[in-house]
Every structure is written in C-alpha cells, then in structure tokens.
Structure 1
Amino acid sequence: MTKNIIYLTFLFFALFTACQDEAFGPVIQVGSPPAITSPAAGSNFVITEDKAQLAFGTFTWTPVEYGFQAAVSYNLEVDLANNSFSDPVSLGIINATSLDVINDKINSVLLAKGISGGTQTAMAARVTATVNPDVAPVVSEPLTFNVTPYEAEIIYPVLHVPGSYQGWNPGDEATVIFDQKNNGKFEGFINFPDGNTEFKFTDGPSWDVNYGDNGADGTLDRDGSNIVAVDAGVYRLKVDLNALTYSILKTDWGLIGSATPAGWDADQNMTYDPVTGIWSITLDLVAGEIKFRANDDWGINLGDNDANKKLEYDGSNIVIGEAGNYTIDLILNVPVYTYTVTKN
C-alpha cells in the first residue's frame, strides 16, 4: 500500500511538472542584435535645399531572431557621433527591417542640434529592437556617416493648447508648445491669466486629435477631460506623446548671480508682460555673472553654454563685463529660449 502511494505521488508530481512546463509556452532566445547594413559606414552626404524633399536614403538592417514567430518593433535613431546617444532622435518606428528617410528630416535634426549649414558633421545611427515590454530591448552597434546640411529656418513641431483662457481655439498659433528636438517631447510656457483655467492639448489646429486627463493623474487620455490650472500665472507645460504623460508647473522668474545686488544668495524678481510674453528687469549690476532661476530655486535654472544667447537648463553663467544699469529680458515664448542684456 505504501509503495502504491509513493508511486501515485511521484506520478502526480511528474504530470504537474509537465503541465507547468507546457504552460510557460515558448522561451525567448535572443539571437544576434540587428546590424545596420545600409548606408555604408563612413558614407558622405551633402544635403541641398533644392533636394530637401528627396530621399536621403534607405536605412536597412538585419532582423532579430527570438526563437519563435514574433512581431518585432524596430526604432531607428540618430544622434551626433560624439554624443554617445545621450540625446537621440527617432527617425521612425517600424515592424520591418528598412526605413526610407528624406533629406529634410536629417537636415532638421542637425540644425536643431546647433549644427550650422555647410558644416560637415559626423552622425551615428542605431536600431533598437523591442518584442515585449517585459523583455529588454536589443540594440545594434552604431553606424557612423557624415552629413553636410544646408542652412534653413527650423520648423519645429508644435502641440496646440486650446482652453478657456483663449476661447477654446485650437487654431491659435500663439498658444502652442514646441518639440525642440523632434522626438515627441514638447515644452513651452503659457500664461493663464485666471485661476481654475481649463485646457487641453491638440495635435494640430483642430479637435480631431485631442488629449485631456480623465483621472487628473498626469496621464493623457484621447478625448479626455479638461486639465485644470488652479492658480493664475505663467506655466511650464511638458508633454511626452510617446509615453502619453504631461506636467504643469507655475513659474515666477528671477535673476541671480555675483553681478546682482544680492549676489548668489537671493533672486532679483523679474516682471512678466502678458502682451509680449517676456520677463524683464531693470537694475544696477556690477561686473560678474548671472543666471535665470524659476521659483527662487535651483531646480529650474537657465544659463548659456556657448555665449550665443541660447539658453540651456543648468547652463553656464552669463558674464556681465562691466558695471552699469541694465535691462535684461527673458524670452520663453519661443522654441529655443533666449534673452537680451542691454546697458542703459
């Protein structure tokens, strides 16, 4: 009797284990990562304005094998070759192993990264393969090539912000935020003159594609509920259309630095002009350095890394060469934040 019980127990365990193994289904076995096969490494491209809408070329790569039939998503990204993909731009996401790219797309990427027209620049491309959110992406080795862009006005993608503060007009080009890096992430500053302002985001100057927030949780929902800004003021709006998330933050700006009366200890408050959308301050400065800060805190500060009047978050201090009375303007209602320093 004891032997029979032992035998039955063993048989049950064996069957249970077999069922478990079968329940797991196919096992992912990642083969070689994708490899870009075209264009050839080291290729040279010169883009001219008359060929802006023509083909730059077709990027092709080898497929990734996962050990079973799977729908693989490939993301083709580019960046400056010396950037180590710290700021990649997606050229497209596709379920195939090739992607056609036009000249204007590559040209816009380079200009947005501060490359001047006529300057040969080394770029790098890579392909990231994804099969499932729970499986780590597989990334190709980078491929480098050289591109000479042409000088052109950069047309930044925009996201419209219609709301109660401007008559719910999605076609108002003055109330938009910008995708400065052409990567689906938008940012900008909008003035809400009244408390409890309601607004939404629209992809284009119509209501066809609009986003709200049904749960007031920072997640965007297609055709969702209006978003509410409780207090009046100038808000920084950030939207990531890839992740369908957003954030809003009321900001008040000031000037700080060794050139200011309070040095690095306290901000000199700037005044916002709702007509021009510019923050301004007139004050006496000594020779030294300044930066711009929001909300009397270093969490959001702007400096100028290249002394070219283009502001960057956490950028370098701005030099004031000599003492005097100055008017300083901070301009945040444009795609690339900028400023002016005028000695009176």
Structure 2
Amino acid sequence: MKKYINKLFVLGSLLFLGTSCETENAEATTLKTVTFPANVEVSASTLVLTEDTQDDSVILFSWPAVKFPVGAPVNYTLQIDVIADITGPTAWQKSKRVEVGEDVLSKALLGKDLNKIAVDLGLLPNLAGKLVVRVEASLDHKVYSNPITLNITPYERSVVFGDIFMPGSYQGWSIETAAALTAIQKGVYQGYMTVPAGQGLGFKLNKERNWAQFYGAGATNSDLKDMSDTDFGLPGEGSYQIKVNLNTLKWTATPYAWGIVGPASATADQTAGDANYGWNHSVPMSYDHQAKTWKITTNLLAGALKFRLNDNWTVNYGPADPSTNTINLDNGGAYTIGEAGTYEVTFTINEVDPATTGYPATATCTIVKK
C-alpha cells in the first residue's frame, strides 16, 4: 500500500510541475513585452512605377528578428495601407497583407504587385501618393514595427492593341482569312464570327497569321494549351462573341447576333396571327469577319425596319434622319421599305468593349434592293 501511495505522490507532483510550467510559459509569452529591436529598412522610399519595370523587383523591405520568449518560428507579414486608414478604431483593417513566411527577414515586391496594391488602395495613376508600411511579427500574439512612409506613383495599365486569329472549320482553316480578335485589355481579346449551316465547329487560336505558334484545347475545351493538337469546339451553328484571355489561358463563346426588326422583316412566313409579329421577332444577321460587318440577304415587305441585338430591345438602333446611313443608339426612328422584294442589309458598328464601355452612340447601315 505504501508503495502504491508513493507512486500516486510522484505522479501528482509531475502533473503539478507540468501544469505550473505551462502556466509560467503562457505567462512568459503572452505577458512579456516583445518589440521590434529596430526599424524596418527599405531600399527606396520614393518610386515612380512603370510598365517597363513591372516584372522587376522594385523595392526590398528588411527588418531585424523579433525575439519571443519561446524558441519557436516567428511568422512575418507586411501590412500596407494609406495614411487615412491607420488610426482610429478601424486602424489597418483595410490594409493589404503580403505574407512573408516563418523567420524570413526580408521581402521584395515586383513592380506590378506594388502597383496593384497602390491602385487598389486608391492611389491615382500617374500621381504621387503615400503608402504606409509596417511589419507584423506573430507567434502566440502579434507585435508590429514602427510604420514607414513610401512615396509611390502608380501607372495605369495600357491596352496593347493588336490581334490574334481564329482559323477553323467555319472558314476552311485558312489562316490568311481567319477571323481577327482585337485586344480590348492587355492580354484580353474580343471578336465576332458566324458558323454557317453545315460547317464544322473546330478552331485554333494563333498569335500571328501563320502556324508558327498557336493554342489548342487543354484540360477542358475552355483551356488554352500551347501547340495543342486538340481543336477547340464551338457550341453549334450561329453567331458568337468570342473572348480570349491570354493572362488566364481561358476563352468563352457567347451567342451574339445583330438582327433586323420591324414590319418589313415580317415575311410571308409569319403565320402566328400576331399583329406585331415583325416588331416581336428579329431576323438574325450573319457576321462577315473579313469585312467586319453584319449582313443579311432576305425578302422584305413594305414597312418599317430598324436594328437590335440578340432579339431584344435592350440595345437597339434607329435613324434620327432616315435619309442617311447613320443610325443612333436607342432612337425610336426606323427606315421605311417602300417596296417588297429581296434586299441586302448591312450593319456596321465599332464595338470596343461593350461590357465596360457600353455601345457607341452611332453605327452605320446599308439597305440595297437586289
């Protein structure tokens, strides 16, 4: 019995000592004052950022090691903010955080990364502004360096104008006559094309009007893979807005067609008994990717005619002056077809990027009786 009691005493003592040590360690780490032994150093405090140096390391932050009472790795993070957001109850809560790592005592930033941070925090392109930077050291609790101020002039990313090309079954795989997709942002291209009835759906994407370098389908039909033998596939016959993003190596095809609408477009095929059939149903046009014009040759009745997008009135054009070939966005006017017959109708519009810049105030058209 005595031996058993001695064992219990020893065990209890060990448990007490363990608990006591844990308590003392916890107090040592969480209650002891920990500070940065020196200020953060920076390679340059004034920077004018440019696209020419966007892929270069433009700034280097470095700092001394912070010593916590417990010998464990310390995690460091940069916090970057504007002066207006580093005081008050929400101080630094809107800051941009750049993770550095455990026991890493320096961090370089590329020009494009610092530029994005500056612009995201509200600094205006081509104007000098101020950013404040501090380093966070974290173990069981967090401590911060004294902040430093940077004078940063960010740049505005320019649109690189140019084309990529889309040879495919729809036009006989001829790179010389393939549809061109025009740059609307850096690395982002947009264009239009029509798959005629009976044509195949495959295509590739080429950087030049040659086969020296091209993209085909990657892991999925939406993924671009350099020099892949697998064709991309369009959804089916019809007209599409094509967007290609070489930054993310993705592409999309969205059904997209301008059409004619009005009583003149309501041919003898209307049997629905709808008195407003012509105004309720657009006749889609096809895109001539070489002429960059929407076209249709069809039978028209005598009556009014105008243009709208995707069989919907959200985006439509009518002439402010029917004696001209200029048509105006959201104008209630219409052309008058005086005599029934076969007509060739064209619609030409300069769409830069409808998603961000909207549609132009005017477009042009022709209506010619054959």
Give the TM-score normalised by structure 2.
Answer: 0.48
2:216 corresponding residue in structure 1: 212
Aligned residues: 242
1:69 corresponding residue in structure 2: 107
Change (3 A) 1:232 1:258: closer
* 1:1-344 correspondence to structure 2 within 5 Å: 1=13, 3-10=16-23, 13=26, 22-30=73-81, 69-74=107-112, 129-130=115-116, 137-141=120-124, 157-166=162-171, 168-170=173-175, 172-179=176-183, 181=184, 183-193=186-196, 194-224=198-228, 225-251=230-256, 253-256=258-261, 262=277, 264-270=279-285, 278-280=294-296, 281-284=298-301, 286=303, 290-294=306-310, 296-297=311-312, 301=315, 303=317, 315-317=329-331, 319-320=333-334, 322=336, 324-325=338-339, 327=343, 329-331=345-347, 339-342=364-367
Change (3 A) 1:187 1:302: farther
Offset of 1:247 from its aligned partner? 0.9
Structure 2 CA distance for aligned equivalents of residues 273 and 5 of structure 1: 82
Change (3 A) 1:265 1:163: closer
SS at match of 2:191: strand
Answer yes or no: is the 8 Å Cα contact 1:129–1:138 preserved in 2.
no
* Greater radius of gyration (CA): 2
Structure 1 CA distance for aligned equivalents of residues 179 and 346 of structure 2: 18
Answer yes or no: is the 8 Å Cα contact 1:196–1:230 preserved in 2.
no
SS at match of 2:78: coil
Answer yes or no: is the 8 Å Cα contact 2:221–2:232 preserved in 1.
no
Q: Spell out, residue by residue over 1:164-218, the C-alpha distance to the aligned partner (whole angstroms, 9 max, x if none).
A: 4445443x14432223x46443222223344543211111123344222313252
SS at match of 1:178: strand
Q: Spell out, residue by residue over 1:318-337, the C-alpha distance to the aligned partner (whole angstroms, 9 max, x if none).
A: 62255634846244698779
Answer yes or no: is the 8 Å Cα contact 1:175–1:190 preserved in 2.
yes
Give the aligned residue type for 2:77. Answer: P
Offset of 1:260 from its aligned partner? 6.0
**5+ residue gaps in structure 2?**
1-12, 31-67, 85-95, 101-105, 128-159, 267-276, 353-359
Answer yes or no: is the 8 Å Cα contact 2:346–2:365 preserved in 1.
yes
Give the aligned residue type for 2:232. Answer: I
Structure 2 CA distance for aligned equivalents of residues 16 and 306 of structure 1: 77
Answer yes or no: is the 8 Å Cα contact 1:329–1:339 preserved in 2.
no
Answer yes or no: is the 8 Å Cα contact 2:319–2:333 preserved in 1.
no
Identity %: 18
Structure 2 CA distance for aligned equivalents of residues 275 and 129 of structure 1: 39
Structure 1 CA distance for aligned equivalents of residues 83 and 241 of structure 2: 43
Change (3 A) 1:14 1:270: same
2:44 corresponding residue in structure 1: none
- In terms of fraction of residues, the more helix-rich structure is 2
Change (3 A) 1:13 1:331: farther
Structure 2 CA distance for aligned equivalents of residues 275 and 204 of structure 1: 16
Answer yes or no: is the 8 Å Cα contact 2:192–2:289 preserved in 1.
no
Offset of 1:161 from its aligned partner? 0.9
Give the TM-score normalised by structure 1.
Answer: 0.51
SS at match of 1:4: helix
Answer yes or no: is the 8 Å Cα contact 1:305–1:316 preserved in 2.
no
Give the aligned residue type for 1:129. Answer: N
Structure 2 CA distance for aligned equivalents of residues 270 and 217 of structure 1: 27
Q: Spell out, residue by residue over 1:62-91, the C-alpha distance to the aligned partner (whole angstroms, 9 max, x if none).
A: xx99896332334xxxxxxxxxxxxxxxxx
Answer yes or no: is the 8 Å Cα contact 2:181–2:189 preserved in 1.
yes
2:93 corresponding residue in structure 1: none
Between 157-166 and 274-283, report the one with greater CA deviation: 274-283
